[in-house]
Amino acid sequence: MYDFFEAFEQLSWVQFIGGNWFLYPAISVLHYFTIFWVVGTIALVNLRVLGLAGRSQTATEWTEQLAPWTWTAMAICLVTGFLEFAPGAGEFVLSPMFVGKMAATAVGVVLAVVVHRGVRNWDRAPAIPGSAKVLAAACLVVWFGTILLGVEVANYGFF
């Protein structure tokens, strides 16, 4: 499987991106910016569930405003992430930090979807249930975990 990624690295468009003095840093900047955007908006929704933000609105109203930004930014984040990954694909897949970050991101996306869908039901209860708050807290931890793993990927620098 490592050979597949090594071969992928050799594709001409991948090499072009990886070697371009402007394109690669620009992709990197967009990736960082959209990560902050994704984590920030997800965090705000989770903080609402925890009762620590946006209390003048229902959790549903709050989420309805922020969720579109989460998913828009996430799309850009995934594309730019893939383009950053491509030129060093072979090395990245061998890195436990990178693999960990991908796993954490997958878990984080699932938790974010569950929270976003859940707010409608949770608002119907007299108060947001404790289980919802545990879910929101877990979602926060996982997303900050992806940042932690992400900085370690950057610190060890494969490309």
Torsion angles phi and psi, residue 22, rounded to 5: -95, -45
Q: Is residue 29 within 8 Å of 39, Cβ to Cβ?
A: no
| Residue 8 or 37 with smaller CB distance to another protein | 37
| Residue 15 or 57 with smaller CB distance to another protein | 57
| Residue 25 or 96 with smaller CB distance to another protein | 25
Q: How far is the CB of 2 from another protein (least distance, A)?
A: 26
Q: How far is the CB of 8 from another protein (least distance, A)?
A: 24
Q: Which residues bind another protein (CB under 8 A)?
A: 25, 28-29, 32-33, 35-37, 39-41, 43-44, 47, 53-54, 56-57, 61, 64-66, 68-69, 144, 147-148, 151-152, 155, 157
DSSP secondary-structure letter at 88? G
Q: How far apart are CA 60 and CA 73, in angstroms?
A: 20
Nearest CA among 22, 33, 11 for reference residue 77: 33
| Number of other CB atoms surrounding residue 72 within 10 Å | 14
